[in-house]
Structure 1
Amino acid sequence: MRIIFMGSPDFAVPTLQALVDAAHEVVCAYTQPPRPGGRRGKELTKTAVHERAERLGIEVRHPASLKSAEEQEKFAALEADIAVVAAYGLILPQAILDTPRLGCLNVHASLLPDWRGAAPIHRSIMAGDEVTGVTIMQMEAGLDTGPMLATVRTPVEDKTTGELTEELAELGAQLMVGTLIDLEALHAVEQDHEAATHAKKIDKAEARIDWSRPAEEVVRQIHGLSPFPGAWSELDGARVKFLRAEVSEGSGEVGTVLDDDLAIACGEGAIRPVRLQRAGKPAMDRDEFLRGNAVGQGARFS
């Protein structure tokens, strides 16, 4: 097929690569514009899709919007059979959705209608879901409301958002390739809109740990926000990010360190960090963290 690919972050790269490996003709890659980043924010940083597409010799376009007639005419001139979308970052106008002969298919990182929206992986982990997955959806004007063509499932277990994102990216890539092979034979299934949940964008204010919550919820918060933005608390006025943790035994005043191996009391039970990061320092496992930071019984995270 002649395919227009639309995606931006690391999550989208495996799908782009899989389409190329499957011998589809990716005629253009649309992505978010380069943003200030790098050293002191002065250098423009290309998206992960931009960089991979250039290495693959694919034309890259990064318009700030697709609403103008000029951009829509450029899109139509590509004469694509289909557009494949994975975490692109822009709402597609109806004119764009209607242009490819077979429409636009989206790789969405949840089992729709659960977790429509910007942060499905974070929200799934933080909510305590046992299973998540990827849905291939025929796109329409609504936010992740289109009919579903295929799904794949995987257990959440104790994975962080970073780990689960990598897994779902690979699963979604293979699912999309398989969907395109069987596209004419597949029957799209409408979503149960009344059962939908919304995965709103992560607010940095959600990252501060509330030690009065049960230990299980604190661990889910830590894993759901790892590696970014990173759940955090302060110790002696310095911010510490928690990147992985486990539920532990013990009880005491919330936020208080209960032993010399860094068990921390919660509203119910306790957690024990597995991986942490002090402000301005690299991430490290608990043992290494304790060797460089004297945090003994009775210390308190605020």
Structure 2
Amino acid sequence: MRIIFMGTPDYAVPTLKALHAAGQEIVAVYSQPPRPAGRRGLEVLPSPVHRTAEALGIPVFTPKSLKSDEEQAGFCTLNADAAVVVAYGLILPKAILDAPRLGAWNGHASLLPRWRGAAPIQRAIMAGDAETGVMIMKMDEGLDTGAVALTETVSINQSMTTGELHDTLAVVTARLMVEAVARLGAEGLPLAPQCDAGVTYAAKIAKTETGVDFSRPAQQVHDHVRGLAPSPGAWFELTTGDRAERVKLLATEVAGVDIKGQAPGTVLDDQLTIACGEGAVRLLSLQKAGGKPLAARDFIRGNAVPEGTVIG
């Protein structure tokens, strides 16, 4: 079939590659425009999907919006059988959704209707969910409200980070979408409407919510940290002398220790076990600004964090 692929970040790359390897005719790729990159933002780089499409010899379009008549007319002239959308990041107007003969199909990284929206992987882990998954749905004008064609469930263990779950779900999405497109071009795909109950929204992660709040229960602190790892990263402030600096937390574990009535944020021992509102967490991997990730024992060697110190 003639496919238009629409995606932007690393998450979408396996699906693009899989569809190409499966022999589908990808007539064009749409991706978000190149953006400043690097520490100083001086270099403008195309997205991972953009770079992959160019390597595969597929034409790439990078409009800032698809709302104009000109962009919609150009999309229609591609005469696609279907559009495949994976983490594209732009709103698709009705004219775009209706242009492909068989519609637009999205690979979404949650068990809809739970976690509709921009950050389903992070939100599932931050909420302590035991499972998530991938759904292939036919897109409509709502926010991830389309009817579902295929589903695969994935378990989330208690140590899994967003980075690890991201990579797992990206592979699942690629496999399901290859199956969906093949069936769409053959016998078609049966569709089931989403449930009205259990709707939750996965809002984009805001900078204001990345700080660690040790007054929360230990399990919630642990879920918060792993849900933001490796990026953007949860953080706390460590004060040394009269200087306070942010330290990123990349890994923790819930520690089965008695906090003995200590205030949240109190360092309980020489293993960086920290009292929480309920229970405690042990810090396993930390990173100072401009530094590399360090195991707790290595971090302590270069940073004095004695028992009784309060962080937060």
Length-normalised TM-score, structure 1: 0.98
Residue 212 of structure 1 corresponds to which residue in structure 2?
A: 215
- 2:289 maps to 1:288: no
Aligned partners of 2:278, 2:138: CA distance in 1, in Å?
Answer: 44
- 2:279 maps to 1:269: yes
Residue 243 of structure 1 corresponds to which residue in structure 2?
A: 250
After TM superposition, give the deviation of residue 182 of structure 1 in Å.
2.1
Contact 1:81 1:101 (8 Å CA) reproduced:
yes
Contact 1:250 1:258 (8 Å CA) reproduced:
no
Residue 40 of structure 2 corresponds to which residue in structure 1?
A: 40
Contact 1:222 1:245 (8 Å CA) reproduced:
yes
Residue 182 of structure 1 corresponds to which residue in structure 2?
A: 183
Aligned partners of 2:11, 2:302: CA distance in 1, in Å?
Answer: 35
Q: What does the per-residue CA deviation read over 1:52-107, in whole Å, with 9 as the maximum and x for residues that have no partner? A: 11111111100011111111111111111100000101000000000001100001
After TM superposition, give the deviation of residue 282 of structure 1 in Å.
1.1
Aligned-partner residue type, residue 197 of structure 1: T
Aligned partners of 1:106, 1:224: CA distance in 2, in Å?
Answer: 23
Q: Structure 1 regions of 5+ residues with no counterpart?
A: none
Residue 263 of structure 2 corresponds to which residue in structure 1?
A: 253
Aligned partners of 1:99, 1:299: CA distance in 2, in Å?
Answer: 61
Spell out the pairing of 1:70-149 with structure 2 (5 A cutoff). 70-149=70-149
After TM superposition, give the deviation of residue 185 of structure 1 in Å.
4.3
The alignment-based identity, stated in percent, is 56
Which stretch of structure 1 is more off in the superposition, 286-295 or 62-71?
286-295
Aligned partners of 1:253, 1:280: CA distance in 2, in Å?
Answer: 30
Residue 164 of structure 2 corresponds to which residue in structure 1?
A: 163
Aligned partners of 2:246, 2:17: CA distance in 1, in Å?
Answer: 39
Aligned-partner residue type, residue 27 of structure 1: V
Aligned partners of 2:9, 2:199: CA distance in 1, in Å?
Answer: 25
After TM superposition, give the deviation of residue 20 of structure 1 in Å.
0.4
Matched residue count = 302
Which stretch of structure 1 is more off in the superposition, 34-43 or 79-88?
34-43
Contact 1:38 1:45 (8 Å CA) reproduced:
no
Q: What does the per-residue CA deviation read over 1:196-233, in whole Å, with 9 as the maximum and x for residues that have no partner? A: 11111111111111111000000000011111221111
